[in-house]
A and B are shown apart, each in its own frame.
Chain A
Amino acid sequence: MEKNEKSANKYGIAYGEAVGTVAAQSLGEPTTQMVLGSLHQAGIKTIVTTTGLPRMMEIADARKKPKSPMMIIHFDPKISKDYEKIRAIRYKLEEVRLSQLIEGYEEDFRTGSMVIKLDKAKLAVYEITPKRIMNALELKGTVETALVDNATIKVKAKRAKSESQAAASESKIKHYRITFISVLSTVVSGIPGIIKAVIDMYEDNAFYIKTAGSNMEEAMKIEGVDKWNIRSNDPFEVMKVYGIEAARNTIANEMYEAITTNGANVNFRHMSLLADTMTYAGHISSVGRHGVAGEKRSVFARAAFEETVKHFVNASVFGEHDLLTGVSENILIGKQIGVGTGRVRLSVKKDDLQKLKRAAEKAEKK
């Protein structure tokens, strides 16, 4: 009784309350109301992210790569209000391929070389010099580069190593073609994986950058970025870079966003409970038979969920034991479950028991 009152006063819940079940119901009901098809919204939003039910499923299933990865990058307070500096960083972020920077190109299959004409205006915008492009190309190791004039580059393909001198001219052309294509798709500047970067502003005039595509490790290396305040919607990436606690917060936050953008209102603590459960083991486990439900210690609890026979057979082969402490195993064997009033157990102190015994013995003698 005392414990119940204490618990109710401090946390607003009674002792022994089935918080997990309540959380499941509170999350489950609004999720059924979400429309399956509400995948994208049209409008001025430049970066479209998955929302609604598909997003909820993505988080709960703990999928390794989200459908629309996204990052929000914050900056040092010193430069966060300086638009020019933020804009310069924006161009450093966005992935730029060589094909985006050219006016045109000519291929010569006889000599295996190609002349690329660069777009000067675009080079100026991204602050890229032809030399930098040449360096990026040389790094690939398959081509040699030479500068013709300040906006034209000549690229010569190296011979494939495995091919002998007498290789057929047909395969030579194929080799040149493959090389040229890979030359044009070389990432010249920016962070690989970041397709788009958009500048936005908070109410206090501080700028932040929203990106389509996520690569926290590389974004952290850029000068001026607030290293420990990058937000990604990929819990696995957050776990790798910031740790499991940050991943837990990301899961809870993302779930909250997915539900509230659909108009429903669910108390955040339900989601934080689910996020806690998903990160209990130190890594992110999915909700379902491969994750949370499959990692349960009790044989009965696992068997009651899915793949009953498999679990019973394995348990009998390997001699598992069950302490019958959970809810579903007690339902299975027809015992009272350890929830609410069922959680209360009668216990007697050892010393008191002996006193009672002595008293009873005395009464008998009389």
Chain B
Amino acid sequence: MLPVPELIPEHKLLSESEAKKVAAKFNARLEDFPKILSSDPQAVKLGAEPGQLIEIKRNDDGNKYLYYRYVVKG
């Protein structure tokens, strides 16, 4: 059995105010978050534009946690 049975986790586009809250929580700038390209299939699906933040619901052995990716042009 593979450790991550579900290949594509749930992606959610965050609004500007939500993104600011997340950045404040981690005491970081938005540009410091891991990136996702705007041409990425999941980003295209959400209609994300460069400068926005995407929230990803990851699953680690049953423990749910959130991961964030900052949309960059590409």
Residues of A within 8 A of B (CB): 228-229, 231, 238-246, 249-250, 252-253, 256-257, 268-269, 271-272, 276, 279-283
Pair B37/A283 contact, Cβ less than 8 Å? yes
Q: How far is the CB of B43 from chain A (nearest CB, A)?
A: 7
- Whole-angstrom distance from the CB of B18 to the nearest CB of chain A? 19
**Among A245, A276, A279, which residue has its beta carbon within 8 angstroms of that of B11?**
A245
Given known A-B contacts A242-B8, A244-B69, A253 and B41 have beta carbons under 8 A apart: no
Contacts of A229 in B (CB 8 A): 7
- With contacts A228-B8, A242-B8, A272-B60 known, is A252 near B3, CB below 8 A? yes
CB neighbours of A257 from chain B (8 A):
2
Distance from A347 Cβ to chain B, minimum over Cβ atoms (Å): 13
Which residues of chain B come closer than 8 Å to A282, judged between CB atoms?
A: 34-37, 40, 69, 72, 74
B6 → chain A, closest Cβ, in Å? 8
Give the CA-CA distance A282 to B68 in the complex, in Å.
Answer: 12
Contacts A242-B8, A252-B3 given; does A283 touch B74 at CB 8 Å: yes
Write the nearest CB–CB distance from B65 to chain A, whole angstroms. Answer: 10
Are A244 and B8 within 8 A (Cβ)? Answer: no
B7 contacts A238, C-beta separation under 8 Å:
yes
Shortest CB-to-CB span from A258 to chain B, Å, is: 12
Nearest residue (CB) in A for B4 is A249
Contact partners of A253 in chain B: CB under 8 A: 2-4
* Complex: chain A residue closest to B2, CB-CB: A253
- Output the nearest chain A residue to B65 by Cβ-Cβ distance: A11
Question: Is the CB of B51 closer than 8 A to any CB of chain A?
Answer: no
What CA separation (Å) do A285 and B2 show in the bound complex?
Answer: 23
Return chain A residues, CB-CB under 8 Å to B34.
276, 279-280, 282
Contacts of B11 in A (CB 8 A): 243, 245
Shortest 8 CB-CB contacts between residues of A and residues of B: A282-B35, A243-B42, A268-B3, A249-B4, A282-B37, A243-B41, A246-B7, A243-B40
1/0 per residue, CB under 8 A from A, across B2-26: the answer is: 1110111101000000000000000
Q: Which residue in chain A gives the minimum CB-CB distance to B38? A: A282
> Contacts A280-B34, A282-B72, A282-B74 hold; do A252 and B4 have CB atoms under 8 A apart?
yes
CB distance from B56 to the nearest CB of A (A): 6
Instruction: Report whether B3 and A244 are in contact in the complex, using a CB–CB cutoff of 8 Å.
Output: no
Chain B residues contacting A272 (CB-CB under 8 Å) are 3-4, 60
Cα A250 to Cα B37 in complex, Å, equals 18
Inter-chain contact B7/A249, CB cutoff 8 Å? yes
Can you list 10 pairs linking A and B with CB atoms under 8 Å apart?
A243-B41, A243-B42, A244-B40, A244-B42, A245-B9, A245-B11, A249-B8, A253-B4, A282-B36, A282-B40
Q: Could you say which residues of chain B place their CB within 8 Å of the CB of A246? A: 7-8
**Pair B7/A242 contact, Cβ less than 8 Å:** yes
Partner of B3, one of A239, A242, A256, A281: A256
Chain A residues with CB under 8 Å of B6's CB are: 249
Q: Is the CB of A241 within 8 A of B41?
A: yes
Tell which of A238, A246, A268 has the most Cβ of chain B within 10 Å. A246
Q: Is the CB of A243 within 8 A of B35?
A: no
| Residues of B contacting A256 in the complex (Cβ-Cβ under 8 angstroms) | 2-3
Which residues of A are found within 8 Å of B37, using beta-carbon distances? 244, 282-283
* CB of B1, distance to nearest CB on chain A (Å): 10
- Contacting pair A245 B42 (CB below 8 A): yes
Residue of A nearest to B74 (CB): A282
Given A276-B34, A281-B35, is A242 in contact with B41 using a C-beta cutoff of 8 Å? yes
B36 and A244 form a contact (CB under 8 A): yes
Closest to B42 in A: A243
Query: In the complex where A245-B42, A282-B40 touch, is A269 in contact with B60 (Cβ < 8 A)?
Result: yes
Instruction: Specify which chain A residues have a CB less than 8 angstroms from the CB of B2 in the assembled complex.
Output: 253, 256-257
